[in-house]
């Protein structure tokens, strides 16, 4: 599908501009769901680079998201007003928001480097534990930084996020990651995933590949976090806990690890699922417990997928390049 990524990128960018322009005409609930979908696509596709294409296993994606969210929010809330005159022009605010998102991504990427460089020498399950621990440590750190609200978190973040930003970020993520994986350099990621020893023998520096994948994945997770913060307008350390990471992991696994289109579809599906369940409980109160037990559903989905369809829901090729 993504044989011509650049065309796709420009088309989606234009589409998101149109969406953003007509945002006010869209039903607010629908716009809300669309925003969540866009943010989840960004998160899932960026995690797919680490867990899918490169074949590592990160359980700390929400941690990078938290870093991006806090950095961007701090920039627009505290730093912005001190350097701008009172009531700055709209365009300046938007540019500043863009810079804040970017900064959030960069700080998250730096954190990715900090965590990845020592721990990516570890294999599979150890890496999973270290990234899990990283997520935990991030939450503890933010809980201890009083200027950023401590355990209560930040409130009153300006509502800059709209559909344009969300889908532009998603399009950019998909474009960069697809183009990268399909490049000569990016083949190294796939080689690392397929067979590390053989890749090393072919002269690929697998540790470097893993770190690059980790840093880029973290960058986009940071951007998604920034968007998320300026969308919910309030963030706290609890919102980026282990279960948030797991949600993203489930999206990647349901879509099929390394299958970008599948992961996007899974992100859409798994964002709509709870909304659908909520509608279901509106139909009959006796179905209420289903919508209450979303995490239960996720866990059953995870086990069922691993046992029955380890290649993901959306992989139909017989010899799909999946080695789960």
Partner 1 sequence: MTEFLQQLINGLSVGSMYALIALGYTLVYGVLRFINFAHCDVFMVGAFVGFYAGLNVHQTSWGGGVLIMIAAMLVCAALGIVIERLAYRPLRDRSKLSVLITAIGVSLLLENAGQLVFGPNPQPFPEIFPSRTFEVGGLVISSKDIVVVIVTASLLAILQFIVLKTRIGTAMRAVSFNSQAASLMGINPNLIISVTFGVGSALAAAGGILWAYKFPKIDPLMGIAPGLTAFIAAVIGGIGNIPGAALGGLLIGIIETFVKGSRYSTWTDAISFLFLILILLFRPAGLLGKLQPEKV
What does the binding site for partner 1 look like in residue numbers (CB under 8 A)? 55, 57, 59, 118-119, 122, 124-126, 128-130, 132-134, 136-137, 139-141, 143-144, 242, 246, 249, 253, 289, 293, 295-296, 298-303, 306-307, 310, 323-324
Distance CA 215, CA 189 (A): 13
Q: Of 47 and 128, which has the nearer Cβ to partner 1?
A: 128
Minimum Å gap between C-beta 145 and partner 1 is 11
Contacts of 125 (CB under 8 A, 6+ apart): 57
Minimum Å gap between C-beta 250 and partner 1 is 9
Distance CA 57, CA 108 (A): 18
Minimum Å gap between C-beta 139 and partner 1 is 8
Dump the DSSP string for 153-199. Answer: -EE-------HHHHHHHHHHHHHHHHHHHTSTTTHHHHHHHH-HHHH
Distance CA 110, CA 87 (A): 33
Q: Of 72 and 218, which has the nearer Cβ to partner 1?
A: 218
CA distances from 86 to 38, 89, 129, 161 (A): 32, 9, 47, 21
Q: Of 161 and 315, which has the nearer Cβ to partner 1?
A: 315
Distance CA 220, CA 106 (A): 9
Minimum Å gap between C-beta 133 and partner 1 is 3
Minimum Å gap between C-beta 128 and partner 1 is 6
Q: Which residue has the tokens 């440590």?
A: 137
Determine whether 241 is exposed, middle or buried from the number of CB atoms within 10 Å of its CB (0-12, 13-18, 19+): middle
Q: Of 223 and 305, which has the nearer Cβ to partner 1?
A: 305
Minimum Å gap between C-beta 96 and partner 1 is 32
Q: Of 225 and 312, which has the nearer Cβ to partner 1?
A: 312
Q: Of 20 and 133, which has the nearer Cβ to partner 1?
A: 133
Alpha helices in 27-89 (DSSP H): 28-47, 61-74, 80-83
Instruction: Show the tokens assigned to 139.
Output: 């939450």
Minimum Å gap between C-beta 4 and partner 1 is 32
Q: Of 102 and 298, which has the nearer Cβ to partner 1?
A: 298
Minimum Å gap between C-beta 136 and partner 1 is 6
Contacts of 143 (CB under 8 A, 6+ apart): 150, 151, 237
Distance CA 51, CA 131 (A): 12
Q: Of 179 and 301, which has the nearer Cβ to partner 1?
A: 301
């Amino acid at each position: 599908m993504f044989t011509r990524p650049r065309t796709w990128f420009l088309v989606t960018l234009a589409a998101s501009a149109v969406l953003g322009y007509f945002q006010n005409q869209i039903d607010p609930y629908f716009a809300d769901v669309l925003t969540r979908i866009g943010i989840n696509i960004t998160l899932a596709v960026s995690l797919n680079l680490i867990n899918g294409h490169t074949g590592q296993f990160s359980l700390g994606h929400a941690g990078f998201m938290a870093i991006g969210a806090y950095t961007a929010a701090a920039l627009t809330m505290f730093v912005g007003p001190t350097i701008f005159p009172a009531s700055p022009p709209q365009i300046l605010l938007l540019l500043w928001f863009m810079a804040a998102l970017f900064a959030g991504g960069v700080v998250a990427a730096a954190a990715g480097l900090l965590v990845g460089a020592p721990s990516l020498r570890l294999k599979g399950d150890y890496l999973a534990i270290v990234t899990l621990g990283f997520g935990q440590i991030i939450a503890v750190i933010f809980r201890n930084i009083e200027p950023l609200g401590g355990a209560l978190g930040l409130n009153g973040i300006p509502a800059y996020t709209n559909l344009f930003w969300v889908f532009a970020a998603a399009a950019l993520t998909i474009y960069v990651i697809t183009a990268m994986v399909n490049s000569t350099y990016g083949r190294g990621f796939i080689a690392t995933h397929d067979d590390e020893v053989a890749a090393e023998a072919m002269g690929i520096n697998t540790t470097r590949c893993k770190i690059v994948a980790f840093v880029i994945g973290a960058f986009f997770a940071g951007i998604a976090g920034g968007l998320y913060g300026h969308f919910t307008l309030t963030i706290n350390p609890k919102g980026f806990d282990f279960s948030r990471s797991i949600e993203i992991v489930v999206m990647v696994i349901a879509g099929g690890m390394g299958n970008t289109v599948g992961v996007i579809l899974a992100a859409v599906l798994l964002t709509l699922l709870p909304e659908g369940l909520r509608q279901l409980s509106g139909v009959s109160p006796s179905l209420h417990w289903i919508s209450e037990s979303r995490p239960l559903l996720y866990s059953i989905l995870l086990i069922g997928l691993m046992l029955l369809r380890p290649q993901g829901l959306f992989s139909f090729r017989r010899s799909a390049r999946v080695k789960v």
